[in-house]
Amino acid sequence: MPDEAGLDAVVAPRASALMDSLRAFGYDMATALADLVDNSLAASAREVRVEFSTDEGAAWVAVVDDGDGMTEQELHEAVRFGGSGPTKERKTGDLGRFGLGLKTASLSQCRVLTVLSRTPHGLACRTWDIDLVRAADDWRVRVVADEEAAGIATRIGFTGAGTMVLWRRLDHAGEGPVLARKLGQSRSRLRMWFHRYIARGRLRLIVGGHVLAPWDPFCRQHVATQDLGTERLEAGGQVQVIPYVLPHPSRLSEAEIKDGAGPRGWNAQQGFYVYRGDRMVSAGGWLGLPEMVIAPQTRLARIEISMDPASDHVWQVDVRKSRVHPPAGLEEDLTRLAVAAREASVAVFRRRVTQAAGRQGRDRELTFGWIQERRHGTSRYLVNRQHPVVQAALAADGGAHVEAVLRMVERTLPVGVIVIEAENDLGRTPQAALEGVEEAEARADLAVMLAALPDDAQARATAVRALASVEPFNRFPDMVAEIVGQMSPGV
């Protein structure tokens, strides 16, 4: 209704309608959990546990921390939509901004949100129940813990100071195998977003009994990782930028290749990693910078950006703290740094190809099972007839049949399919199948190959040196020496 002067009127939001709208902010399980972890860190928590039950009809998820906890008054404000808002100055370490995260993140997954918080002054409780809000069409919140919530708190050992956020009636999160899968998939993203906290011993993060290890997107412990230097820029506060170029996958073990791919794979994880304080808020991608596209050759380029949480409005950090937009004043510098990192990534692949081609040119008759032949601007790939193992097979009885098989293999080599597969599986590298061979398999293959070699001692010694220098045998020098030692003294 208008006021007495007839100049202003109050238009209050309809609770039942707005509550449903606030559930549609685009959270998934991982981003919703991350928002709760942010709150725990702001409350000085050192350990955060995600406990759950996937039982059909009685599923729930609880996030429990050992932080400071909240009094009745503090909890009442914490569950208020809007809270203190984005303009209020926050203490160092407070990762909140909009005053919506706890509520919108939780209610994006469930219909009943209960928060229990304990301080030396006692236990406080607030529960949002969407059906209660709808029935009353008002912002009604329960202030006493129901029997089920209290029972779950006891079951998971919420007894000391801290806070428990409990989700029930998981209409969006699901139950049974669906819920279990979502929670399992969340682990890799949580260990990415909070890796600085975990690595520095400031957070112990546990999901379903699994203690999460930090995931360093920049592979900084590897000797072949390139640090292209640190730059400090200004944009509503100081911004630190460090471009990295990761090692060529051939320099990584199978475990390192798998881990380095991150939650979304090598291709999608290239680009900028933006940190708000120590919390990662953007993981990969090129931030919409002009002419910056995801490409296989640039997948080794990853750039760390650290900004002050106080300047997040300049970066347009969204409510979920999962997307950012760089300030216009930084685009030129970020583009320059991105171009340098992308070019360095391309150079790593180019250098690898050049090195391989050089080795092939020097030792073609011995070291490579395949050779490339170019005619009229196109390439075809041929089995190297000068390879000692191939020579032995051709010289033996039935050599003509072996030659026929080799020609069939060459003519039917699915080069196009290989190219498509390589683009879709960017963790793979040339000879990746050989690089994954275990010692037992390599031992058996080498024994068979040596048995087929000529009797001439000098020829056998030359062949053994060639085989010992290539994949996969070059990774097992002790095994090669052992087998060679069992051969005739002439070798």
Res 99: pLDDT:
57
Output the pLDDT for position 449. 74
User: Contact 341/303 with Cβ under 8 angstroms?
Assistant: yes
pLDDT (0 to 100) of residue 90: 44
Kindly report whether the global pTM for this prediction surpasses the value 0.75.
no
Where exactly are the structural domains of the chain?
15-211, 226-348, 364-485
| pLDDT in the model for residue 371 | 75
Tokens of 104: 């919108």
What is residue 16's predicted lDDT score, i.e. its pLDDT?
Answer: 85
Model pLDDT, residue 230: 95
Residue 72, CA atoms < 13 Å, CB-side half-sphere: 6
Rounded Cα–Cα distance for residues 306 and 27 (Å): 24
Consecutive H or E run containing 163: strand 162-168
**Quick check: 82 and 100 in contact, CB under 8 A?**
yes
Domain 15-211, what architecture?
2-Layer Sandwich (3.30)
What is the rounded CA–CA span in Å between residue 16 and residue 380? 67
Predicted local confidence at residue 224, as pLDDT: 92
Question: Tokens standing for 14?
Answer: 């309809």
Whole-angstrom distance, CA of residue 138 vs CA of residue 485? 85
Phi then psi for residue 399, to 5 deg, are -60, -35
Question: How far is 30 from 268, CA to CA, in rounded Å?
Answer: 18
* Greatest pairwise CA separation for the chain in angstroms: 112
Q: What is the pLDDT of residue 98?
A: 45
E-strand ranges in 208-362 read 210-211, 226-227, 231-234, 238-245, 271-276, 279-283, 301-307
Predicted local confidence at residue 85, as pLDDT: 47
Contact 428, 421 (CB under 8 A): yes
Q: What is the DSSP string of 332-366?
A: HHHHHHHHHHHHHHHHHHHHHHHHHHHHHHHHHHH
Residue 12, pLDDT score: 82
- Check residue 426 and give its pLDDT: 47
pLDDT at 360: 46
Q: How far apart are CA 35 and CA 322, in angstroms?
A: 10
Among 102, 92, 88, 125, CA closest to 38: 102
Q: Are 315 and 238 in contact (CB under 8 A)?
A: no
- Phi/psi at 286 (5° precision): -110, 20
| Residue numbers of the chain with a pLDDT score lower than 50 | 85-88, 90, 92-98, 356-366, 426-433
- pLDDT at residue 5 in the model: 65
Contact of 124 with 71, CB cutoff 8 Å: yes
Please tell me the predicted confidence (pLDDT) of residue 173. Answer: 95
Handedness of CA 164, 170, 175, 179 (dihedral sign): negative
pLDDT reported for residue 420: 64
Q: How far apart are the C-alpha atoms of 64 and 162, rounded to whole Å? A: 7
The whole-number pLDDT of residue 86 equals: 47
304 DSSP β-pair partners: 242, 273
For residue 16, what are the CA distances in angstroms to 13, 25, 36, 111, 423? 9, 16, 24, 13, 48
Give the C-alpha separation, 126 to 328, whole Å. 42
Predicted local confidence at residue 417, as pLDDT: 72
CB 480 within 8 Å of CB 440: no
Q: What 3-state class would DSSP assign to 456?
A: coil
